[in-house]
Amino acid sequence: MAEKAPRLPVRGSERTPLHGARAVGPVAPEERFEVTVRLRRRAPLTALQTGGVHADVAPARRAYLSREAFAEQHGADPADIDKIGSFARAHQLTVVGSSIARRSVFLSGTAEQFAEAFGTQIEQFEHDGASYRGRTGPLTVPEGLAEIIEGVFGIDDRPAAQAHFQLRPGDGEAAAANTSFTPPQIAALYDFPTGADGKGECIALIELGGGYRPADLKAYFKELGLAAPKVVAVRVDGGRNQPTNASSADGEVMLDIEVAAAVAPKATIAVYFAPNTDKGFLDAITMAIHDTTHKPSVISISWGSPEKNWTGQAMHSFDAAFQSAAALGVTVCAAAGDAGSGDENPDTLAQSGAKPDGLAHADFPASSPFALGCGGTRLVAAGRQIKKETVWDDDPLRSAGGGGISDFFPVPDYQAQASIPPSANPGQRRGRGVPDVAGNADPASGYRVRVDGQSFVIGGTSAVAPLWAGLVVLMNQKLGHPVGFLNPLLYGSVQGKQALHDITSGNNGAYEARTGWDACTGWGSPVGSRLLAAL
């Protein structure tokens, strides 16, 4: 029997249909699926924050808890987990697992049971030949649970994000060889620290589809004169390493692995495969952050979509997870998008019958204040030197570095002196500015990679996130401790030490490059050895 207590909405859980989608009827009542319920922290992170997580404090002076101690002090309260268990039993739902560290309870049940438990209608939606299981409006829970539940994920299974990579159009390998680069060539141009190879470090890659073939990795790294990296596939919510063809998300997976591992060849590459839903995305992130087996010190995320596509509960929960990563000394690198300041490629949208709304949008999760937002440049080299570097802005609607002003997150403290401009949208809101840093991303100056037995030149800010992730583990190895949450340092003590190339030419549509921080390339691309020295 269901509870009789008054019900309250789960904060930020409101959902609207995808543009152009229409409800075609309820899902089958007996359809089974799983849901993740995210819970509040047992204790806030104030003590860790005063220990230097947010402040401009050198990495060597930061103190971090172990993952186990962090879970005990700042994970979910076991009593809250028990309350969710009681709620589940009252609605005939099954608790299939829980994690204090990840602050998550995993429930299994039927559509009918979840609809009754969370006070919603679950319907099938169709749009331009595709379909998804969805809902509209907020979710509700008994009054006593509303204050402990941070979010409920998995009832709606629409695609959550797009991969931020682009194949170089037109020319083949021979023509591209003069203007494209291998990852080690890019690392050399950016003066990445020498005498380090990532040994003892782990890079986590979040992937929402696609896969890799070990034979391709072996062949690719043989061409680079490197041993094949140690790559481990981690399954999340049924996701798995599932390569298909070069036109699929395999391009994203292989780009991420090959860039990160070529920069840090002795690092372990842990690839967390999850379904492309808000539940899958969040579960992969929390699993990577709190992974006591592989213990990644940096997480690279090359997937995202405009903030307007996300629920408030999702953005809050992702951001809270990244805050936990910062408190553990884990750096989170996130691609800032590939469709300029609008962040809505009209060709991609057309597949679902939608059109860009003409507004500027920051890409999430790069817009989280606890993520290192990674923007894009176009690089021209002469030998082993950078000859010219500008904003990647081939086409402000289809092929340009993402960046802008968050409509959800306020300006964080570390950006207070960065002269963040108002949004280009009506109302001119001032919010979190994206990106923080940049790197080579233009497909015209892209990365030579191997995907499903073929060689390609690929660009996109998808390449910049794993590039920075590789740099981070090299610095971690050289320093002997994690650099952790970089953002306050980049906006603070690193300034004036010539640790980044300031990109002052170009635009991404609504925003222009300028001296200092800008909403196209942040502070610019790295000068790795100087950044290491500054840290």
- Interior angle at CA 67, CA 485 and CA 104, nearest 5: 95
Residue 1: what residue type?
M
**Nearest alpha carbon to residue 519 among 319, 302, 340, 304:** 340
**Cα–Cα distance between 334 and 237 in angstroms, integer?**
22
Active site residue 157: no
- Please give the Cα distance from 266 to 203 (Å, whole number): 11
Query: How far is the C-alpha of 484 from the C-alpha of 36, rounded, in Å?
Result: 27
Positive or negative, the CA dihedral 389, 394, 397, 399 is negative
Is 305 among the residues known to form the active site? no
Distance (Å, rounded) from C-alpha 71 to C-alpha 84?
18
Cβ-contact 423, 411 below 8 angstroms: no
**Alpha-carbon span 522 to 515, nearest angstrom:** 10
Give the Cα separation of 104 and 282 in Å (integer): 10
Query: Could you say which of 256, 307, 389, 452 is catalytic?
Result: 256
8 phi and psi, to 5 degrees? Answer: -130, 150
Give me the catalytic one of 252, 258, 283, 307: 252
| Number of Cβ within a 10 Å radius of residue 514 | 17
Single-letter amino acid code for the residue at 57: V
For every residue of 306-330, DSSP letters joined together read: EGGGS-HHHHHHHHHHHHHHHHHT-
d(CA 405, CA 261): 32
Task: Verify whether residue 462 is a known catalytic residue.
Answer: yes
Crossing angle of helices 250-263 and 214-224, in 10° steps, is: 40
In angstroms, the CA 122 to CA 207 distance is 27
Active site members: 252, 256, 462
